[in-house]
Amino acid sequence: MNSINETLIPKIGVITDVRIDTPDIKTFRVVTPDGKKAFDHKPGQCAMLSVPGVGEAMFSITSSPTNEEFMEFSIKKCGCVTDWLHQAEPGQQITIRGPYGKPFPVDDVFAGKDLLFIAGGVGLAPLRSVINYCRHYRDRYGKIDIVYGSRSKDDLLDYKEIIEEWSTDDGVNVHLTIDNPQEGWDGHVGFVPNYVKELGFDTNKVAVLCGPPIMIKFTLDGLCGIGFDKTNVYTTLELRMKCGVGKCGRCNVGAKYVCKDGPVFRCDELEELPSEY
């Protein structure tokens, strides 16, 4: 039924696994009813998931494109659709369409560079796909630093994967931090922007930021403060979206549509946009 150019009619997806990451974030594994990946995507792209009768919402695809079996979505419980999804059990069908948006420039700009990923809270979700992509093609990139912070140890997303896989990789440095001291936590305590400044990275890296708006703002200021150039810093935006294809007008900021021209923006591109995001 779905013709090639059909943009608004979704495919059926099946939730095959639900992983509880933090008290309010779950990671859902989604495949088509015949067990395949719904579509190919690039790191940083998004998909529209919907629950008929509840609504449709845009989520970043958390799993790496190199995973050819399924897609994963890390979803924080915060609205109608996400509330519903959090109650869903494996086997539940949902609808899925995509991929939408411009990916991170992993194959050109990032190639050969040292990479610095900075994430806060559920902001790790969109970065996980690009981090894993870069880890998969490890020889194409230089050193990888990951700074990830959250409210508490329990709120760290993908903690197991970070400790067991990312930290053990060659040339990958993981720096974790939590907002307040906590029993059983011997790592760094403090906010991400300050931690980034303390760590004081080489300014020739490409930095990728994702997290709550306030974290992005201060981290970006911090990075610029230690000499980063805005043309080397990337981030992702999130606005309300309905169509996903740059027509419904909802995510329009300046002459850009976040669903089509974003969600990945270089920070100097962002400066060209009116401050409405």
Partner 1 sequence: MRKCSLEKINLLFAEIAKNAELYLPTQQTDGSAAYKKWEEGSVWSNALNTVRSPKDFFFPQTENLMKFKTEGKSIEVVDTRNALDDFVIFGVRACDVKSFDVLDRVFLTEPVDSFYALRRSHGVIISLACQRPSETCFCKTFGIDPAAPAGDISAWKTETEIFFEANTQKGKELLEKLSALTEECDDTVVSEQKEKINKFMDKLPLKNVTTDGFGGGKTKELFDLPEWDELSQACLGCGTCTFVCPTCQCYDIKDFNTGNSVIRFRCWDSCMYSDFTKMAHGNNRLSQKERFRQRFMHKLVYYPENNDGMFSCVGCGRCLAKCPISMNIVKVMKKIGGK
Per-residue binder mask for partner 1 (CB under 8 A), 9-48, x = binder: xxxx------------------------------------
Q: Which two tokens stand for residue 64?
A: 């790496």
Q: What is the dihedral of CA 3, 57, 118, 146, to 10 degrees?
A: -60
Work out which of 32, 95, 152, 182 binds partner 1, going by CB under 8 A: 95
Closest CB 70 distance from partner 1, rounded Å: 17
CA atoms within 13 A on the CB side of 149: 22
Task: Report the run of H or E that residue 73 belongs to, with start and end.
Answer: strand 71-76
Q: What is the dihedral of CA 54, 56, 60, 62, to 10 degrees?
A: 40
Work out which of 86, 159, 252, 266 binds partner 1, going by CB under 8 A: 252
* Residue number with CB closer to partner 1 (52 or 227): 52
Closest CB 210 distance from partner 1, rounded Å: 14
Q: CA distances (Å), 43 to each of 71, 180, 270, in order? A: 12, 31, 20
Q: Total residues contacting partner 1 (rule CB under 8 A)?
A: 45
How far is Cα 103 from Cα 113, in angstroms, rounded to an integer? 17
Work out which of 114, 173, 245, 266 binds partner 1, going by CB under 8 A: 245
Work out which of 45, 60, 74, 82 binds partner 1, going by CB under 8 A: 82
Closest CB 277 distance from partner 1, rounded Å: 6
Work out which of 18, 54, 109, 199 binds partner 1, going by CB under 8 A: 54
Contact between 129 and 60 (Cβ < 8 Å): yes
Residue 19's nearest CA partner among 159, 120, 152 is 159
* Residue number with CB closer to partner 1 (214 or 226): 214
Region from 37-45, 152-160, 191-199, 242-250 binding partner 1, contact rule CB under 8 A? 242-250
Crossing angle for the helix pair 192-199 and 213-225, to the nearest 10 degrees: 20
Contact between 43 and 64 (Cβ < 8 Å): yes
Place of tokens 């933090």: 22
When asked if residue 238 is in the footprint of partner 1 (CB under 8 A), the reply is yes
How far is Cα 23 from Cα 11, in angstroms, rounded to an integer? 30
Work out which of 16, 32, 93, 182 binds partner 1, going by CB under 8 A: 93
Residues in contact with partner 1 by CB under 8 A are 1, 3, 5-12, 52-56, 78-80, 82, 89, 91-95, 238-240, 242-243, 245, 247-255, 272-274, 276-277
